[in-house]
Structure 1
């Protein structure tokens, strides 16, 4: 193979390079993935997604054992080439890509099971986007975690939240503090999570709850990527954090504003669902 056909897509500005490898024959390696994701010398993206059947890669065995219906596996890599467990925006774009390539048939209202390193996740198609069931979540409210970042005078408390991948959510005082934050440099989490973590900085909306729906605003520094315009699992983690802090009176539905748009979160029965758009932008060939 001398060139790699690809598609560029995004979910609220969280952008990806996608390519089809149903039989699992293309192994690009971390350096090649990072080169493709490079915004100056490659295609550019927050991550690279390989569309591969679960039966054709080792990680897919666990997905099929969990749910035999998970025919397709989202082999997701961060922009630095490292493997990631899950991506809430990426999985919606991935399903849109499978449909566009004729690899999947899914009518509006129907659901498909997708394998990931973070488990099998159902994705439901809607007229204007997709909803992904991110599954059960974990809130480590007894952890003593702080986060330091540029332009924060002192370290702030962080709430670790697991949504198939690790997050630490930091609530800031006001919108101005969020806007002035410099996320070009990775925030430092104390103590450092063994596998790193995505770090979300969040402020409440004004008002926090409107017509029974919570509203918050978020920026994020993604592990292995840097600041991104959006992070689906980070959006879910931020809503979970505010839901946790608000207690019994917290709404189950949340709207989360990110630099790339808005996403909807539903928290019910110990699970979290994320709804948003998925766009395909252009096709190309990357010379190998």
Structure 2
């Protein structure tokens, strides 16, 4: 009997793909400029299956914005957004945005010959979380992730916590703060690295109240001291909605810094005003910066590496 993943892969026989990652957050990438390839939920899950498929935290389809409805809506707002990142979680569900994924997406567009991007120049990309500007740097790419906001603003402003989280490896519920980076995140502060290492993130953490669209959950350990020479430092592990634990999460790193900075505000102005942060994740390090914006809202910039590591064709049975 043919397994379910193998059946789905058979339907995609002959499909060319690439494999890429940003600090260990890995993706299957498909080039589909005219939006002609249909990859359903179960087919995405089969491709991302780490045992019977290619393996990945998600699937990224590169499509011209004018070829799909979501992209056409983006073009009406910004005609520069020629390319749209159609991103799915590893279980096939739709995700609004992925900070590591958009860097890998731009690297893929360059590798495919669709765009050229000199160091210091930026490319406008359409996503389900709106338009993103991605600049090429000496060490990869920097993404203007746009403004951050609290998921539950009234509770967050008053208490700096708005949720309780329970997961395996923690003996009691822990207070948390939910932050939106275009997609939802719930951030939990831990006491030390030992607590971080002991977490069992093979199961979905319990979050109460849970944001309306579900949530990614970040577990964070602040460094001691938190800020050195004007730069903040934290370590993080993450359970991603629709995926499980990943080696990195770009939007999660941004949310973790927002929450940490909010918690540290009571410890003195130097803590609160750090504008650059190093976030250590299992797959490496990403950098989060707070930047001013003409729209008057504080934006977050995420920078880090991106790499295409393999190419292939789905064989089928």
Shorter-chain TM range is: over 0.9
- Kept after mapping to 2: 8 A contact 1:256/1:265: yes
**Displacement after TM superposition at 1:46 (Å):** 0.2
Unaligned runs of 5+ in 1: none
Counterpart for residue 276 of structure 2: 253
In the alignment, structure 1 residue 275 sits paired with structure 2 residue 293: no
In the alignment, structure 1 residue 197 sits paired with structure 2 residue 212: no
Counterpart for residue 180 of structure 2: 162
**Displacement after TM superposition at 1:128 (Å):** 1.7
Counterpart for residue 146 of structure 1: 164
* 3-state SS of 2:73 partner: helix
Counterpart for residue 230 of structure 1: 248
- The structure with the larger Rg is 2
CA distance in 2, matches of 1:192, 1:214: 28
Question: How many residue pairs were aligned?
Answer: 288
**Displacement after TM superposition at 1:174 (Å):** 1.2
CA distance in 1, matches of 2:183, 2:77: 18
CA RMSD of aligned residues (A): 1.1
Counterpart for residue 86 of structure 2: 75
TM-score for both structures, normalised by structure 1: 0.98
TM-score for both structures, normalised by structure 2: 0.89
- Kept after mapping to 1: 8 A contact 2:13/2:313: no
In the alignment, structure 1 residue 264 sits paired with structure 2 residue 292: no
Deviations 1:143-202 (A, max 9, x none): 531111011111111100000100000001111111101100010110122211000000
4+ residue stretches of structure 1 with deviation over 4 A?
A: none
Structure with greater proportional strand content: 1
CA distance in 2, matches of 1:63, 1:287: 35
Counterpart for residue 9 of structure 2: none
**Displacement after TM superposition at 1:268 (Å):** 2.5
Q: What pairs up with 1:1-288 in 2 under 5 angstroms?
A: 2-139=13-150, 140=152, 142-143=155-156, 144-247=162-265, 248-249=269-270, 250=272, 251-269=274-292, 270-287=298-315
